[in-house]
Amino acid sequence: MPLADCDRVQGTPLYMGAPLVVHCHRKRICTLGRGMSSGEHSNFKTLRLVIMKILSGIQPSGQLHIGNYFGMMKTMISNMENSELYVFIVNLHALTSVHDQRRLATGTLEAAADFLALGLDPDKCIFWVQSDVPEVCELTWILSTVTPMGLMERCHSYKDKVAKGIDASHGLFSYPVLMAADILLYQADQVPVGKDQKQHLEVARDIAQKFNSTYGETFVIPEPGISETTATVPGLDGQKMSKSYDNTIPIFLEGKALKKRVMAIETDATAVEAPKDPDSCNLFSMFKLFASPERLEEVRGLYVNGGAAYGYIKLELLDLISDCFAEARLKKAEYLADPAMLRALLLRGADKARKKAVVTLDLVRERVGLNY
């Protein structure tokens, strides 16, 4: 039965343009586009379609910035209507770099307010704080027992962070195992990640495959969701925008503080009238995130033909950033004005998440022999 010819399969709505997941008789997950028939899938046995599970989390280790927004948050919010969406605040991960109680607690609520203000609807997704689902800690330990040391030692993120001055700790070293547990606990099909986190997702896939081969088919093998246009958002200095590098533009920064950051974007000393390469310019990389297609082409022309004045482009970018988040800035203030409501909302999300988590953990416990 061609998928394009039906509106429903076994009661599951098919969303136009949405990714559809098919469980085939080999127990693996296969993504089919609309228009592909069951006959075109050689292993296809029964037509059982489910909406794709998409999961991602964000650390409350500091003010969320436009790299977070374009790298992950915007993508997750856009997936509310066409997926089973899981979004969470990864405060356990944040403990690897934040050792200030007040900063972590406040940052957790602020990160939640940021997501909600930017358009995340908790009624259309599962939205919670990582530490409110203790099952993830048990799964982390179980997964660590099948995780090869060599796999951990090859992770470049640990080495990079230690080189940047973050204290070397077991938590920082084993960070990818907790990340794997975050993903596998909810049987996620896809995880939107930046290029810098792609290796950690590959580790999660390796751990899932090792567990499945040792104990039998248990976990879905997740796929990365990386937008090539926004996979890595540059910071003020041209490196990846990151709180660790102190080169960010916070989403809700405004006024003089925002202007100071934007005007600090590093550029070269090429004269205004000289031709420039827009694709190698840090400022242009940020500008294209906010400008309309028409305006982007105009500015690209100034770069290529001469006439691109960095100072004026920065001022235009300043206005674009301020206008982009103006409405969300007001909504964030409303959420933070009622922290009790915000906490209650997050706890409701945690209850929904735990109902999903216990199903997977019960299966894992049965597989490894912890149920006796």
Q: In order of start, what are the domains of the chain with their CATH numbers?
A: 1-51 (no CATH), 54-232+342-368 (3.40.50.620), 253-324 (1.10.240.10)
* Model pLDDT for residues 331-342, shown as the tens digit of each residue: 999 999 999 999
Q: How far apart are CA 250 and CA 111, in angstroms?
A: 12
More confident position, 74 or 157: 74
pLDDT of residue 163: 74
**pLDDT attached to residue 11:** 34
The predicted model scores a pTM of 0.83
Local confidence band at 227 (pLDDT 50, 70, 90 cut-offs): low
Q: Please give the backbone phi and psi of residue 40, each rounded to the nearest 5 degrees, phi first.
A: -80, -10
Confidence of residue 231 (pLDDT cuts 50, 70, 90): low
**Token pair listed for 176:** 């990818």
**Is the pLDDT reported for residue 179 higher than 50?**
yes
- pLDDT score of 92 more than 90: yes
* Count of alpha carbons within 13 angstroms of residue 192, beta-carbon side: 29
Is pLDDT above 60 for 9?
no
Report pLDDT for 54.
Answer: 96
Q: What is the pLDDT of residue 230?
A: 55
- The residues that bridge with 240 in the sheet, in sequence order, are 234
Helix (H) or strand (E) holding 253: none
**Per-residue pLDDT for 28 more than 50?**
no
Evaluate the CA torsion angle 183, 188, 192, 195 in order and state its sign.
positive
Q: Are 157 and 198 in contact (CB under 8 A)?
A: no
Q: Give residue 357's Cα distance to chain centre.
A: 19
Among the listed residues 161, 167, 319, 170, the one whose alpha carbon sits nearest the alpha carbon of residue 242: 161
* pLDDT tens track for 184-199: 999 999 998 766 677 8
Check pLDDT > 90 for residue 257: yes
